[in-house]
Structure 1
């Protein structure tokens, strides 16, 4: 596609989005319902239906790939049709034209610039809004929710009061509430993780266990172990193809490979060491990590096309019996491959490994699911909504027991059934006749496998992790320490956030480019000091001070 055509397509997409927003936001401007009357009463439950007359609210939200596998719009998902029946409120979903993160942000910015805002906006307010949530409020994009939640959201209030961490994570430093969050039940993982440690790892390292057994190798733990295993995968033809075409380590894009720097006790971004905030790509350990990865790449242990590998190509390499190891999620990646590959060849064995670490140190995790709410991701009510009270009540229903069950499991008799008082997914979901993964099949009925403004019913994870292989990797992945992970909800001030965004936009672009170039040998590791000087010139040390101040304030809340 030439540049002129790309610009034309982008203009068409932008105009279409803005037109749909304008139409959606004005469609109900003349509606008046009994429930719109002002009231100082605080609800103790959500009355159903919420409105006396049908009401339509609009919501901006990026399409989830699992939904996109079978549908074109969230309006087609069964749970939202049922929500409309129960509440009397229809949601007109507005999706960006692409699921690419850059496109989502571009379309969000176009929407904000137009001033034609929907009633509800699902977004990452801490990380992706320049200035953070308080700036979004100051800009007149969204409204503070303290009063609305206090009066019209009894279920979310109850959830917030159930765990002090929730209350802490949901607020900015000045106590402002701004979203209805993706949330987890306090006993979210109890049935699949009875260990007293509440953390539950859903992302990690995956390997061809049958290849290890064929070569009489133990599951790797240290980086030195991994080097020996990857060399064996490359030279000893464990696939049995006779072609020696194995890809020992097969990352899906540079982001997957960047996870490996965690073996040096650092994160590819912010983390804390004790009470000190650090930026992983600006540490001496990062040089050691790059040195090792560059060596692996030079020796052919890493897919030479890792930086360009998309999801479809990644699937082809793994399913084609060529990939030896990779990283991914418990369900969408690991569970799917286990089911599909074993159906094709029963001798295939997949398993996980503990998070890798450098000999003499310890293993670290930086994806922790013990948190109760997501890091600034959730649904905000826009400043242009004419129905904030009704929006607050509709959103709060997702935190009630019946709303949570609907949002998590879908429709009884279609996607689940009750067995001894516990919801159980039906074969339509767990063994889909069209070959869909559990998450893809469930996404026809609910957002339970993705995320949304509700508290997730805990039994779902037990069933999404029902395979014996998944049960095993849960224990392996959580073997690493969680004590360096930044807590969710760390929020810079408006001024800090604006400055941080300015610095990190340049820093992140540069460090991502240099990561690929240094691993591939296009930039020698001997240039690392110049790399550090460049980051310093871009203001990374100022950004670290800002993040440190925000972290200190969070810990003092």
Structure 2
């Protein structure tokens, strides 16, 4: 198998969104039943109706999850106990401490692995080492629900040798359901700025920055920061991606893909990026841009967002959720005054440009969980995976326990009380219930999925849950814009069968991969120089930057991405 490089820009948008989706789970009595019984969303049980089902023998397997969490046995959680009652299976879960590559490298060197492994960004190393077993035959024999959920994506999941080695986390089941809150990109502005301006309709790039400039000018004695940006480590995309969104494109990574031809072009040197950097340069010259944006780390950035002094920024909701939740907590302490919280806006360069901040339905096929060559009983594990992929168990691991974590109204709609919402903000409680362990990183219905009855699989995408989490002030502000949820402020996403392009693997050492490896260094060097330099030096610095980018294999990269985007679109369409 060829060594490949995963394009990092934007990959966390799906993994870390979990900070935004609230929490969730299902009724103990409902979910202790056989997962296939009486559920139209589940593959048929092969056991005859009159034959009593034997209680499964207990078994404990090991699972290493390359993300941060507290280690535990799954049967020490309420959901894990229910699943163990169904299947007899418990997992001893270990999570990442320290460096990911070092941890995975040690496994590979010793050729000793946990039974199942979620290696996150190190998945290429695991695949190259041959550490995952092929799942094809196991799925055929023991995975009717796996087939039901993943079969539309099998073409994308197969490696070059035709085998499926892991199960991703983003298979959309049912009707696609965008998030009613904003967990993706937006230009954020403090509520007090909108309030003082009379809640104007802000659509364009210039309108947004003029709004901030006017407010800062009227409050010059408060030592406010007009705008700041995030550049730390891999999160640098929060500064490089905005011109792509401003031009009306979703987060495809480093390219803008033509909807008709699928031609993929970089935007790193186009007029949009120049216009974006020139605005930051103007704001810096006026003393309205935080110069420390180019040296602050992530924690410092979040601390500034919660300080109350920053009027605006661009970022992804999942990436700033910690700060947003901290501000919301402060609002409650301050008697409900939410002036210092932020409102997301779908800003574009021009008023006639349709925004595309909200992700379309997508399938990310470069992250997932697999069964390793060290696994003691792959058949038992695949059967457990299959049992997870029923409507009942997906409701269990996402929504929680009925009457404890969610309710059902007389129309069959799932919702949460304010008390349930508040309790699930406690990460220790989430872990105790099991949501904090099972809501992601297992075979699952993707985040935008819906159940056959129309309820959202993910609680954060259920409008009733989103609206219940809004304060009276939020509801009043949304009403001023004629909407009930933040997502209604944004355009619906257009269908893009290749999406997201950033999930496409590039062959290690290829010209295309060399471009992605070297481009960030050029941007880090020149973006600070361009933004913080004197305005009369802007054009000179910009031209230097463009010359350096053009020394990279841009044409090879664009050609490769165009070909791969077309291939991915064809595969997802079954061609």
By the TM > 0.5 criterion, same fold?
Answer: yes
CA positional deviation for 1:280:
2.6
Q: Give the structure 2 partner of residue 96 of structure 1.
A: 96
Taking structure 1 as reference, are residues 293 and 485 closer, same or farther at Cα in structure 2, changes over 3 Å only? farther
Measure, in 1, the Cα distance between the counterparts of 2:501 and 2:138: 20
Q: Which runs of 5+ in 1 are unaligned?
A: 1-42, 194-198
Q: Secondary structure at the match of 2:169?
A: strand
CA positional deviation for 1:140:
0.9
Q: Give the structure 2 partner of residue 556 of structure 1.
A: 570
1:278 to 245, 256, 265: 265
Deviations 1:327-385 (A, max 9, x none): 342794587367424312423255644421112651432551522x4342221222332
2:374 to 377, 381, 384: 384
1:475 to 465, 481, 488: 488
Taking structure 1 as reference, are residues 492 and 419 closer, same or farther at Cα in structure 2, changes over 3 Å only? closer
1:223 maps onto 2:210 in alignment: no
Q: Give the structure 2 partner of residue 244 of structure 1.
A: 222
Measure, in 1, the Cα distance between the counterparts of 2:428 and 2:287: 34
Q: Secondary structure at the match of 2:485?
A: helix
Aligned 8 A contact 1:357 1:364 in 2: yes
Measure, in 2, the Cα distance between the counterparts of 1:412 and 1:94: 28
Measure, in 2, the Cα distance between the counterparts of 1:169 and 1:508: 28
341-350 or 518-527, which moves further after superposition? 518-527
1:263 maps onto 2:246 in alignment: yes
Deviations 1:376-398 (A, max 9, x none): 22212223323222221222222
Measure, in 2, the Cα distance between the counterparts of 1:339 and 1:407: 26
Taking structure 1 as reference, are residues 426 and 440 closer, same or farther at Cα in structure 2, changes over 3 Å only? farther
1:505 maps onto 2:506 in alignment: no
Q: Give the structure 2 partner of residue 80 of structure 1.
A: 80
Q: Which runs of 5+ in 2 are unaligned?
A: 1-42, 479-483
Q: Which has the higher contact order (CA 8 A, sep 6+)?
A: 2
348-357 or 327-336, which moves further after superposition? 327-336
Q: Give the structure 1 partner of residue 560 of structure 2.
A: 546
Aligned 8 A contact 2:507 2:513 in 1: no
Measure, in 2, the Cα distance between the counterparts of 1:185 and 1:335: 30
Q: Give the structure 2 partner of residue 430 of structure 1.
A: 421
Taking structure 1 as reference, are residues 218 and 540 closer, same or farther at Cα in structure 2, changes over 3 Å only? same
Measure, in 2, the Cα distance between the counterparts of 1:442 and 1:335: 19
CA positional deviation for 1:554:
1.7
1:364 maps onto 2:318 in alignment: no
CA positional deviation for 1:300:
2.9
CA positional deviation for 1:224:
0.9
Taking structure 1 as reference, are residues 511 and 400 closer, same or farther at Cα in structure 2, changes over 3 Å only? same
- Residues 113-132 of structure 1 aligned to structure 2 (within 5 Å): 113-124=109-120, 129-130=123-124
Q: Give the structure 1 partner of residue 104 of structure 2.
A: 108
2:139 to 130, 138, 149: 149
Taking structure 1 as reference, are residues 528 and 45 closer, same or farther at Cα in structure 2, changes over 3 Å only? farther
Taking structure 1 as reference, are residues 105 and 291 closer, same or farther at Cα in structure 2, changes over 3 Å only? farther
Measure, in 2, the Cα distance between the counterparts of 1:281 and 1:393: 47
Aligned 8 A contact 1:180 1:378 in 2: yes
CA positional deviation for 1:450:
4.9
TM-score normalized by the length of structure 2: 0.71
CA positional deviation for 1:277:
1.0
Q: Secondary structure at the match of 1:58?
A: strand
Q: Give the structure 2 partner of residue 322 of structure 1.
A: 309
Paired positions, count: 482
Aligned 8 A contact 1:205 1:477 in 2: no
Cα RMSD of the aligned pairs, angstroms, is 3.9
Taking structure 1 as reference, are residues 348 and 273 closer, same or farther at Cα in structure 2, changes over 3 Å only? same
CA positional deviation for 1:171:
4.4
CA positional deviation for 1:440:
7.6
1:298 maps onto 2:285 in alignment: yes
